[in-house]
Amino acid sequence: MKIRNIAIIAHVDHGKTTLVDKLFSAAGTLGRQQAGSDRVMDNDDLERERGITILSKNASLTWKDVRINLIDTPGHADFGGQVERVLSMADGVLLVVDAFEGVMPQTRFVLEKAFANGLSPMVVVNKMDRHDARADEVLGEVFDLFIDLGAEEMALDFPAIYCSARDGWASLDSSEHGRDMVPMLDAILDNFEAPKFDSTSPLQMQIATLDWNDFVGAIGIGRVQRGTIRRGSEITLISNDGVSSRGVIKELYHIEGMERKACDSVEAGDIACIAGIKGLGLGDTVTCRENPEALPSIEIEAPTMEMEFMINDSPFAGKEGRFVTSRQVRERLQRAATMDPALRVNPSPNGGYLVAGRGVLHLGILIENMRREGYEFAVGSPKVLLKEVDGQTHEPFEAAQVDLPNDFVGKVIEFFSKREAEINDIHQHGTRTCIKMRLPTRALIGARTHVLTLSRGEGAVSSSLEGYGPRAADIEMRHRGSLVASDTGQVTAYSLVNLEDRGQFFVGPGEQVYAGMVVGENNKDKDITLNVVRAKKMTNVRASSKDNTEKVKAANKMSLEQFLEYLDGDELLEVTPQTLRLRKRLMNEKARLRASKEATV
């Protein structure tokens, strides 16, 4: 059977996963249970809750006797490592662009990686059903992007197709409304050639992504570059470091629709899934015993942000989690680093583990997955990774874009100007404005939450790593201090009512707190220690208002990402399967005062 290997790349929320759904429906690939459901590729709970793709996935459909292997990739910049490694399995890419938003920071990143892998793109202008669609202008932006990336020859004649993935139609003409997705399926066959590989040569296959199964262990997924891989065959595994080991292909699968089906052999050019090999890692080369030849290793960009993971040593430690020891946390982090090469895990001088990733969301997804699996631990505040270049300290910089209503432009520009941002371009599209800027990566910590607040929930921030540059001036990340509990016990409404003028609380009546736990945000820039467990004294005098209940303002319940952005350097986030608690590293008040005095000396 003829094959096409196609990766779908785009900026976040430009419609990749919905497009895959409609291609499946048009080809009749979806089963009875999946028909009519949306985002069938996003099968992870976190992906469906957040509406984003986190892990790259493989699927296939058959159209006109040609099997099309589709690779769905994440669109968020924090998961760019997923995109970099799976492009080695593709022969071409579908570059999906929003018909209104146009070229975004991550659009540039993924297209640059596609060109680096020698892949030719077909541009898909999606969301043509929007009333403010501007297809011709967006196509012009794509043309300019091709020129900027040095692909002048491709820019002169790249195929383009227009569609509405939500409504399930595609058209070759921007002025025509299509009826189904058939024109896109035909365009894939017409514009992408079948892979040309030799199935009779010695075996060569590179592991591009890893999955885990409790029954068979690690599952390596990659394209067979040369030869034929067979179940039960003896192979040589060559790691990225050049170390060779021997193994046997105990399980072999190929992809049909959304599922992996067991098979006896997979020929060159097709995507195979193998299991049963000890020590399988990303980028490893699977070769034959007789003639072992390694393929070039897959280069992944280095992480830019780091957080400290450690065991939870608070007074409430061990009450909610199943996995609480340092060994259990270390093994889980090492398994995460094996599955995701964009993560780095190193021992911390404080006894914990320094975990580096692409951003707050990247590390936040790891934390959320661990707490759902029953792990209990604590994490420190995120910090950017610095480099020394010619004796000068360099830090990562991002190319960021803010899309928001015209009424809030002034407030947002003022906010980013205080964070050392360089505004490159401002242009309007109807009632909305797009601001393009360059700023340090650390300036983006907490920026998305602030932009949502300043724009009343209508602003969106997107960014991608631009490179490293000389370290900018210090940025004040948090203007307010913390409200810290002085005693352990149950929070009372009586104490909260009397302390409401001090700031906004994160806890409500009836919750358990301990001394050193951060219970709120101060109105001023200093930390204050408060007694939030004080109860009303009993007297023998009956007042007329005795039965009146205390009215307390609702507590500010923050999400995991908001807590990570809010964390200060002297604070930790206590993570359990049921609760998120903010606390000071030093829970004793006198110890904190002594440490602050030593720091100022």
Contact 297, 291 (CB under 8 A): no
pLDDT at res. 58:
85
* 47 and 164 part of one domain: yes
> Of 150, 6, 155, which Cα lies nearest the Cα of 66?
6
User: Which residues, 6 or more positions from 315, have their beta carbon under 8 angstroms from its beta carbon?
Assistant: 488, 514, 515
**pLDDT tops 90 at residue 589:** no
Contact 462, 106 (CB under 8 A): yes
* 278 and 141 part of one domain: no
* Interatomic CA distance for residues 250 and 235, integer angstroms: 11
* 45 and 173 part of one domain: yes
Phi/psi for 277 (5° steps) reads -105, 125
> Of 63, 75, 65, 62, which Cα lies nearest the Cα of 7?
75
| CATH number where 520 lies | 2.40.50.250
* 27 and 120 part of one domain: yes
* 55 and 88 part of one domain: yes
For 55, the enclosing helix (H) or strand (E) is: none
Domain span at 491: 482-538+545-564+584-600
Specify which residues 580 forms β-bridges with: 575
- 523 falls within a domain: yes
* 55 and 84 part of one domain: yes
Q: What are the C-alpha distances in Å from 516 to residues 407, 426, 441, 588? A: 42, 45, 30, 6
| CATH number where 461 lies | 3.30.70.240
pLDDT at res. 542:
62
pTM for the full predicted model: 0.83
User: pLDDT tens digits, residue range 435-475?
Assistant: 999 999 988 888 888 888 888 888 888 888 888 888 888 88
Specify which residues 309 forms β-bridges with: 353, 379
- 517 pLDDT band, cuts 50/70/90, is very high
- 303 falls within a domain: no
* 419 and 458 part of one domain: yes
User: pLDDT tens digits, residue range 10-68?
Assistant: 887 788 888 888 888 888 775 533 444 455 555 566 766 766 777 778 888 888 888 89
* Interatomic CA distance for residues 14 and 8, integer angstroms: 11
> Of 272, 115, 289, 277, which Cα lies nearest the Cα of 206?
272
pLDDT at res. 171:
92
User: pLDDT tens digits, residue range 75-123?
Assistant: 777 777 778 778 888 888 999 999 988 888 888 888 888 888 888 889 9
* 122 and 218 part of one domain: no
- 367 pLDDT band, cuts 50/70/90, is very high
**pLDDT tops 50 at residue 547:** no
* 491 and 461 part of one domain: no
**Average pLDDT of the chain?**
85
Contact 191, 91 (CB under 8 A): no
- 213 pLDDT band, cuts 50/70/90, is confident
- 438 falls within a domain: yes
As a whole number of Å, the CA-based R_g of the chain is: 27
Decide the pairing of beta strands 92-98 and 2-10.
parallel
Q: What is the DSSP letter of 263?
A: -
SS3 state of residue 306:
strand
* 465 and 502 part of one domain: no
- 317 falls within a domain: no
Phi/psi for 225 (5° steps) reads -80, -30
* 173 and 213 part of one domain: no
